[in-house]
Amino acid sequence: MIRVEKNLAQNTVEAYERDISRYLKFLEEEKKVTSIRRVKDSQIREFIRALSDLELAPSTLHRNFSAIRSYHDFLVESEITDESPAQLLVPPKRDQKIPDVLSIEEVEQIIGAINSDSDAFVRDKALLEVLYSTGVRVSELCNLEMADIQNKSGVLRIKGKGKKERLVPIGGKAVDVLDNYIKKMRFRLTEKNLDNGKVFLSMNGRPLTRSAVWQILKKWTAESGIKKNISPHTFRHSFATHLLEGGADLRAIQEMLGHESITTTELYTHLDKQYLAEVHKAFHPRW
């Protein structure tokens, strides 16, 4: 039907079908939506944000949004639903924004805000240290398995996009807090055998979801007093930017981030220039 109405090519129709399938799976598994009539506009925004965290091209994000809006319009026209939750949403921009980053001090401030008053503070500290130390995507963090930890070699085996694996170095601080979490907390969470071998678990022993990681980061960011709108991907951007500022080779950063193309990694050279411009403005006497 959509092919006829919009005169779309077969490949585009197939892409739309994949997009809708992924969208419905997200609603069911991540948001626990039991009826398409109960979908909210905020859930659509969360889905697009999750896709953005996968570093999809802006054009792909725009296509996903278009597919979702067309799908809900179809449901309204077919009288399956009364109104479209996507009706008033603004589509994502096609151009790629330079991502926000944290300063080194801000990262330390957020991690330092994690206190022992929380039952899960040992896990949360390990989680954020690993995010910042390795620059992994939130989906890669959630999929990390015990067998992927290679502390003796100082690396983690990461299963990235397209099922491609890479080895990512992990810093000494992250190794220590991760080991502490595994020894002091994780073993208690595995008593119900619901962990599927995953490293980071919820308090009921199930693997953490991307949404849960977002909530953990949101909680400790609020505790730290930092007012920025931060996501797990902000830690990934900060990881890459701080390496570049420290003099790391762009190819090495590309390898650690798991980017197929160096062009994607080159985004961080713009961030570095932006940082230098801010330093110049702050300290040059003629500003």
Catalytic residue annotation: 137, 161, 233, 236, 259, 268
pLDDT per residue over 37-73, tens digit each? Answer: 999 999 999 999 888 888 777 878 888 999 999 999 9
* pLDDT in the model for residue 244: 84
Regarding the domain delimited by 2-77, which CATH topology (the fold level of the hierarchy) does it fall under? DNA polymerase; domain 1 (1.10.150)
Return all residues near 184 (Cβ < 8 A) that are at least 6 apart. Answer: 122
pLDDT per residue over 194-233, tens digit each? Answer: 999 999 999 999 999 999 999 999 999 999 999 888 889 8
Return all residues near 9 (Cβ < 8 A) that are at least 6 apart. Answer: none
* pLDDT in the model for residue 1: 45
Q: How high is the mean pLDDT of the chain? A: 85
Can you read off the two tokens belonging to residue 71? Answer: 């799908």
pLDDT per residue over 129-187, tens digit each? Answer: 999 999 999 999 999 999 999 877 789 999 887 778 999 999 899 999 999 999 999 99
Domain parsing of the chain, residue ranges: 2-77, 104-283
Regarding the domain delimited by 104-283, which CATH topology (the fold level of the hierarchy) does it fall under? hpI Integrase; Chain A (1.10.443)
- Domain pair 2-77 / 104-283, same fold: no
